[in-house]
């Protein structure tokens, strides 16, 4: 079952209650205090470190706080986001626009094309309260007209990713990453952009091995 924090839009569907608490520690002062006090009482040295898989810890990302942010209209990109989350841990966040897109595919293509041409930035439904606390930010999206959809443009423009590592991934129907990585670099000029992953939409459900291989290649898991 997905569990959406109504304050932040963070979705956490794989963690125990205990690790959920650990992952959400930076989101509110109240929670930070709670976790810190609990950690001190328990005599734990690093109660505010995020949950990461042992693989990630072994490659030195254990001190990095991970965010997996994605936009997905029909679920393919969400599949990949979930697979990354299962391998790496961290917080997962669905980018959602306030205004819904048309259901009709032809209408949608038209709207998406206009939004691309005008570099439109639609208002988003959910916010991340403490983006500064994240070091490693995965950003996932379907390819629309050769790049990411407009809500991702808003997301990349709304927050400051300077000094952070941004890791792109997408699903597509033949374009691969297209122009999207270049477009991310333009919006995040002071970030390190990792090699991205492009998965065919139809293969998204069974891409776990491909995802793991890519995560190893870019040195995020061992």
Sequence-separated (6 or more) residues with CB below 8 Å from residue 102: 108, 111
Query: Which token pair is 71?
Result: 């936009």
**Nearest in space to 169 (alpha carbons), one of 86, 112, 88, 84:** 84
Q: Is residue 193 a contact point for ligand FMN (CB under 6 A)?
A: no
Q: Is residue 205 a contact point for ligand FMN (CB under 6 A)?
A: no
Q: Is residue 109 a contact point for ligand FMN (CB under 6 A)?
A: yes
Q: Is residue 185 a contact point for ligand FMN (CB under 6 A)?
A: no
Site string for ligand FMN, 22-51 (x = CB under 6 A): ------------------------------
Cα separations (Å) of 117 from 8, 100, 144, 170? 30, 19, 12, 20
Q: Read off φ and ψ for residue 157, nearest 5 degrees.
A: -85, -30
Q: Is residue 196 a contact point for ligand FMN (CB under 6 A)?
A: no
Residue nearest to ligand FMN (CB): 201
Q: Judged by CB under 6 A, which of 23, 61, 77, 165 binds ligand FMN?
A: 77
Q: Is residue 110 a contact point for ligand FMN (CB under 6 A)?
A: no
**Nearest in space to 138 (alpha carbons), one of 71, 207, 40, 75:** 71
Interface ranges with ligand FMN (CB under 6 A): 72-77, 108-109, 112, 142-146, 171-175, 201
């Amino acid at each position: 079952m997905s569990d959406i924090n109504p304050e932040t839009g963070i979705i956490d569907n794989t963690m125990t209650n205990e690790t959920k608490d650990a992952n959400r520690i930076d989101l509110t002062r109240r929670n930070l205090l709670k976790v810190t006090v609990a950690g001190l009482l328990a005599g734990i040295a690093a109660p505010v470190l995020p949950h990461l898989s042992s693989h990630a810890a072994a490659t030195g990302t254990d001190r990095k706080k991970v965010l997996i942010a994605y936009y997905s209209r029909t679920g393919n990109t969400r599949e990949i986001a979930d697979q990354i989350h299962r391998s790496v841990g961290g917080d997962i966040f669905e980018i959602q626009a306030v205004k819904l897109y048309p259901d009709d595919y032809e209408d949608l293509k038209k709207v998406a094309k206009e939004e691309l041409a005008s570099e439109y930035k639609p208002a988003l439904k959910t916010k991340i309260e403490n983006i500064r606390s994240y070091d490693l930010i995965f950003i996932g999206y379907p390819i629309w007209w050769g790049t990411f959809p407009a809500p991702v443009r808003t997301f990349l423009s709304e927050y400051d990713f300077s000094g952070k590592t941004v890791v792109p991934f997408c699903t597509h129907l033949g374009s691969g990453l297209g122009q999207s990585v270049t477009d991310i670099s333009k919006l995040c000029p002071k970030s390190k952009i990792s090699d991205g992953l492009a998965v065919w939409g139809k293969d998204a459900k069974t891409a776990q091995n491909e995802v793991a291989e890519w995560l190893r290649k870019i040195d995020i898991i061992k």
